[in-house]
């Protein structure tokens, strides 16, 4: 059983996926929503996982990382915000490198320095690979440099959940880091070609299979990160593709082509006998038609410059024979991004219910029941696709099993002498 520390836990998507494998125990989970009196996500998390581990509703900036050492956790997980990760030297030089205050990735680094888990699994939006716009790839390079300095080898992959059998076209980057002194990394280091790792033998290749064909339009890149993380922050810029590996500061990145699995369709997750309140009035239908329709609107900038704002049209209503689009926190409101369907039973137009949104992410029905409907939609817009985490959890267990066997073999060999 692998013990887990969970950061930025939300309503428990990471935990649900890991616990489904029967091989993980979350010993400490933290969820804190700043600037809010009502801690809806934490209350849902603590209710659903009652009497299982410690549930922390504390600002992560105030958590004493030394108190987490005794949990002996070998996996740290978390879905953290995409922020500005720039760093600088402290003025005195005594404290070394300083990251911007309030940036939650630095809290992950702070905890990793003390806890030293064997594995790290993080999730973020895929734009992380390109941010910031004025220095493309800088933020992700800082993350890789930070994990390198903590003695981790890192793999990443942008995964569209619908490509691997899930009900939502949700693209997220997953970052898997493993300590360099493991037999897993030793085995990877015996593989000369990085593309072999990404296509066949690596963490994500075994979990989310890809085509052996190279992408025609994107040439793979191989480069080294600067040794100085401040140099990375101030001057380094680099293009990253949807997959890659970093070993000892050397990065290989390639645009991989997924071997697609048949997804769950939007029609398959719909409820029957839906409450009247989810159906749209004629005015509501007209508003959605406008929001989702194509537009060309003349606008004037703050400097007086006139320009044309253009926006393409979206399907209205949603096709039920395809997986859902990416769900946002504004789901359920009169918003261009909200899903609007024709109910198969009544043939009337409506929005999705909170339970249907839970199903889009692979959560059990009524998982978020007990909070306001607005917050139920909001929490699902922030949540993970549980099925993806379960698959990654199984892969971590495979790696851990190899690690245990390797350790046992060494003990046997030592006993012979």
Burial of 194 (0-12, 13-18, 19+ CB in 10 A): buried
Q: What one-character DSSP code corresponds to residue 268?
A: G
Apex 31 CA angle, 20 and 151, nearest 5: 75
**Rounded Cα–Cα distance for residues 236 and 397 (Å):** 36
Is 151 in contact with 144 (CB distance < 8 Å)?
A: no
Q: Find the Cα–Cα–Cα–Cα dihedral 130, 136, 139, 141, rounded to 10°.
A: 100
What are the CA-CA distances from residue 376 to residues 71, 240, 331, 359 (Å)?
A: 32, 34, 9, 12
Residues with Cβ within 8 Å of 186's Cβ and at least 6 positions away in sequence, in order, are: none
What SS3 class is residue 416? coil
Active site residue 82: yes
By the 10 Å C-beta count (0-12 exposed, 13-18 middle, 19+ buried), 107 is classed as: buried
Residue 383, classed as helix, strand or coil, is coil
- Residues 291, 51: Cα–Cα separation, whole Å: 45
Q: Which of 44, 82, 357, 379 is an active site residue? A: 82
The values of phi and psi at residue 285, to 5°, are -60, -45
3-state SS, residue 31: coil
Q: Please, where are the H alpha helices in 242-336?
A: 282-292
Residue 335, helix vs strand vs coil: coil
What's the CA gap between 180 and 403, in Å, rounded? 12
The three state secondary structure string of 119-175 is EEEEEEEHHHHHCCCCCCCHHHHHHHHHHHHCCEEEEEEEEEHHHECCCECCEEEEE
Nearest-angstrom CA–CA distance, 344 and 360: 17
Which residues are the active-site residues? Answer: 82
């Amino acid at each position: 059983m692998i013990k887990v520390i969970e950061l930025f836990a939300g309503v428990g998507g990471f935990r649900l996926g890991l616990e489904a494998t029967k091989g993980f125990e979350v010993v400490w989970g933290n969820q804190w929503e700043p600037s809010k009196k009502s801690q809806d996500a934490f209350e849902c998390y603590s209710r659903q996982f009652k009497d299982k581990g410690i549930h922390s509703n504390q600002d992560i900036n105030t958590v004493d990382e030394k108190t987490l050492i005794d949990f002996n956790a070998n996996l740290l997980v978390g879905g953290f915000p995409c922020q500005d990760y720039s760093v600088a030297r402290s003025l005195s030089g005594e404290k070394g490198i300083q990251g911007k205050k309030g940036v939650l990735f630095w809290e992950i680094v702070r905890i990793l320095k003390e806890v030293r888990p064997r594995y790290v699994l993080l999730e973020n939006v895929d734009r992380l690979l390109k941010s910031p716009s004025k220095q493309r790839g800088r933020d992700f390079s800082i993350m890789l440099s930070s994990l390198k300095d903590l003695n981790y080898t890192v793999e990443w992959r942008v995964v569209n959940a619908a490509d691997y059998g899930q009900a939502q076209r949700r693209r997220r980057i997953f970052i898997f880091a493993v300590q360099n002194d493991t037999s897993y990394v030793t085995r990877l280091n015996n593989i000369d070609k990085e593309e072999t790792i990404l296509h066949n033998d690596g963490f994500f290749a075994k979990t989310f299979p890809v085509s052996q064909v190279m992408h025609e339009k994107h040439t793979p890149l191989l480069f080294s990160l600067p040794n100085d993380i401040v140099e990375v922050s101030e001057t380094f810029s680099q293009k990253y593709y949807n997959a890659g590996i970093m070993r000892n500061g050397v990065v290989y990145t390639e645009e991989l082509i997924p071997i697609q699995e048949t997804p769950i369709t939007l029609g398959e997750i719909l409820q029957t006998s839906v409450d009247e309140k989810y159906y749209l009035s004629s005015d509501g239908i007209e508003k959605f038609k406008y929001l989702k329709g194509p537009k060309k609107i003349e606008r004037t900038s703050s400097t007086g410059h006139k320009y044309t704002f253009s926006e393409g049209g979206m399907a209205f209503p949603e096709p039920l024979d395809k997986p859902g689009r990416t769900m946002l926190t504004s789901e359920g409101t009169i918003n261009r991004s909200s899903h609007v369907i024709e109910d198969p039973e009544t043939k009337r137009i409506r929005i999705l219910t909170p339970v249907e949104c839970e199903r889009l992410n692979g959560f059990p029905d009524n998982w978020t029941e007990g909070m306001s409907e607005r917050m139920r939609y909001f929490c699902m817009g922030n949540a993970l696709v549980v099925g993806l985490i379960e698959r990654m959890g199984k892969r971590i267990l495979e790696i851990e099993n190899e690690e245990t066997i390797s350790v046992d073999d060494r003990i046997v060999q030592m006993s012979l002498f």
